[in-house]
Amino acid sequence: MSTVKITREGEVCQVKCLNPTKVKRLAKMMPASEQVTELSDLFQLLSDPNRIKTLFALSHDEVCVCDLSAILGMSDSAVSHQLRLLRALRLVKSRREGRIIYYSLTDNHVTKLLEMSLDSETKSL
């Protein structure tokens, strides 16, 4: 067993390990705490089935709140609440046309994530 010094975000720790080279290499590769927190927030947000359905619908077309309500079988206010959370993480953007606001995905990263997840789920069945 070896001891290795790890510096992470300005803090130095001395830790025991079996493979010091591997530990140093992987410790250097770790993303910053802020990035990990943002990713954690994203996955937490995606843990709700209604938000997954909302993102799935928006990955196929731009949709207004009332149409999303009909698609998801939810009230307008419940859909608006979900959209507000998705907008806070910049996953969804809006566009106004008169009195109607249309929502769409900010970019295709969410679409890719959904496709990979659904494909993986289908293969495991």
Q: How far apart are the first and last CA of the chain?
A: 42
pLDDT of residue 33: 86
CA distance 104 to 79: 14
| Cβ(64)–Cβ(100) below 8 Å | yes
Q: For the full predicted model, state whether its pTM sits above 0.85.
A: no
Compute the mean pLDDT over every residue in the chain, rounded to the nearest whole number. 89
Q: What is the pLDDT of residue 125?
A: 58
**Per-residue confidence band for 121, with pLDDT thresholds at 50, 70 and 90:** low
Counts for the chain of helices (H) and strands (E), in that order: 6, 5
- Portions of the chain given CATH number 1.10.10.10: 40-124
What are the pLDDT digits (tens) for 24-68? 888 888 898 899 998 898 889 889 999 999 999 999 999 999 999
Q: Among 1.10.10.10, 1.10.730.10, 3.40.630.10, 2.30.110.10, name the CATH number for the domain at 40-124.
A: 1.10.10.10
pLDDT in tens, 70-79: 999 999 999 9
Whether the per-residue pLDDT at 7 is higher than 80: the answer is no
Q: 9 near 32, Cβ under 8 Å?
A: yes
Greater pLDDT, 123 or 34: 34
